[in-house]
Structure 1
Amino acid sequence: MENPTPPVVVMGVAGSGKTVVGSALAKALGVAFVEGDDLHPPENVAKMARGEPLTDEDRAGWLDSVGRAIAGNMRRNGGAVAACSALKRRYRDQLRSLNPGLVFIHLEISPDTARQRVASREGHFMPQSLVASQFATLEPARAEELVLSVDGLLPVEEQVSVAVDFLRKKAAEHVP
């Protein structure tokens, strides 16, 4: 991209494709990719593996870790794309507090699609039984939040293309 890329979080429920789309988007933008799941403390991973949904308190330190990883990559490398569920407005606000100008790409899928995708994953700590709690927690973004919603059933290349176009427009709006 010709203009500086804003920091980006690819968000959504479990199984929405955050890692696949986020890593492809980071590659397309030539910036670092941050896998939010890798930043969960062991207690969070164990809790989810037992089929227990995380609380706001469980997520607070993890969100700070994700936000700091994005900010660090922005300073060092000039860009970052992170995969992070960011299901509630307050979670998105917490990430924004560490990364002004943060843009969210929300991958939208149905509960049935999420359950199917999560059930087919191998070696991941998130069980299918937690999909319903993810949808119960999800708060739709408000217009002022700078969130682009993308159909999570589109081919990955199309999702990335839509996101890149949106980010180019946002970057162009901030050029002096």
Structure 2
Amino acid sequence: MHSPPVVVVMGVSGTGKTTVGPLLADLLGVAYAEADDFHPPANIAKMSAGIPLDDADRAPWLDAIGAWARDHADHGGVVSCSALKRDYRDRLRAANPEAVFVHLTGDRARIAERMKARKGHFFSGELLESQLATLEPLEPDENGVAVDISPDPAAIAARAAAELRRRIAQN
């Protein structure tokens, strides 16, 4: 039996990474980490002010998430992380080459509605357009799967877990 991989639940803000991630971790029986917890205070202040992060802001954040992924390589884990660009995912894969990405996808209107409904989150809804413009979907050579956010979170997590188990069984 293969151990579960480290799974990065990715996508723009508002797709449900923080909701689906823990559900997926429970289904896989592994630890969960929230990417927002890895941000330094300066990043949170910027995003709270509606200022998009640049690559220099993201580098130490991605490195911290990568360290978590590396530390969980032997027993698996799930971490949420926007991982919007291929370069960001490559940086995470450099820390854990076996990492698998679950890209939560949905249409702009659905995501915007979800963001409006959120209370007490530092991420400004105005940044959605910036994230959508930055997003580079998974490429065919990347180890991952795209999952639509239309169903309820439990169904999304179940679909992702089934796909991950299928991939593990094939290897």
1:140 counterpart = 2:137:
yes
Q: Which amino acid aligns with 1:157?
A: A
Question: Over residues 50-79 of structure 1, what are the superposed CA-to-partner deviations in whole Å (9 max), with x where a residue is unaligned?
Answer: 00001111111100111111222334xx11
Question: Over residues 148-176 of structure 1, what are the superposed CA-to-partner deviations in whole Å (9 max), with x where a residue is unaligned?
Answer: 010111111221121111111221233xx
Corresponding residue for residue 124 of structure 1: 121
**TM-score of the superposed pair, with normalisation by structure 2:** 0.96
Q: Could you tell me which of 91, 95, 99 is aligned with 2:92?
A: 95
Structure 1 residue ranges (4+ consecutive) displaced by more than 6 angstroms after TM superposition: none
What stretches of structure 2 of length at least 5 have no aligned partner? Answer: none
Corresponding residue for residue 3 of structure 1: 2
- What is the Cα deviation at residue 45 of structure 1? 0.3
Q: Distance in 2 between matches of 1:11 and 1:148?
A: 10
Corresponding residue for residue 32 of structure 1: 31
What stretches of structure 1 of length at least 5 have no aligned partner? Answer: none
Q: Could you tell me which of 149, 158, 163 is aligned with 1:161?
A: 158
The RMSD of aligned alpha carbons is 1.1
Q: Which amino acid aligns with 1:61?
A: P
Q: Distance in 2 between matches of 1:123 and 1:161?
A: 28
Q: Distance in 2 between matches of 1:56 and 1:114?
A: 23
Q: Which amino acid aligns with 1:50?
A: A
- What is the Cα deviation at residue 10 of structure 1? 0.4
- What is the Cα deviation at residue 141 of structure 1? 1.3
- What is the Cα deviation at residue 118 of structure 1? 1.3
Q: Distance in 2 between matches of 1:149 and 1:14?
A: 15
Higher percent of residues as helix: 1
Within a 5 Å distance, the mapping from 1:77-116 to structure 2 comes to 78-116=75-113
SS in structure 2 at match of 1:104 = strand
Q: Distance in 2 between matches of 1:37 and 1:113?
A: 22
Corresponding residue for residue 69 of structure 1: 68
Number of residues of Structure 1 aligned to a counterpart in Structure 2:
171
Corresponding residue for residue 20 of structure 1: 19
SS in structure 1 at match of 2:72 = helix
Does the 8 Å CA contact 1:10/1:105 hold for their aligned counterparts? yes
- What is the Cα deviation at residue 112 of structure 1? 1.5
Does the 8 Å CA contact 1:119/1:127 hold for their aligned counterparts? no
Corresponding residue for residue 57 of structure 1: 56
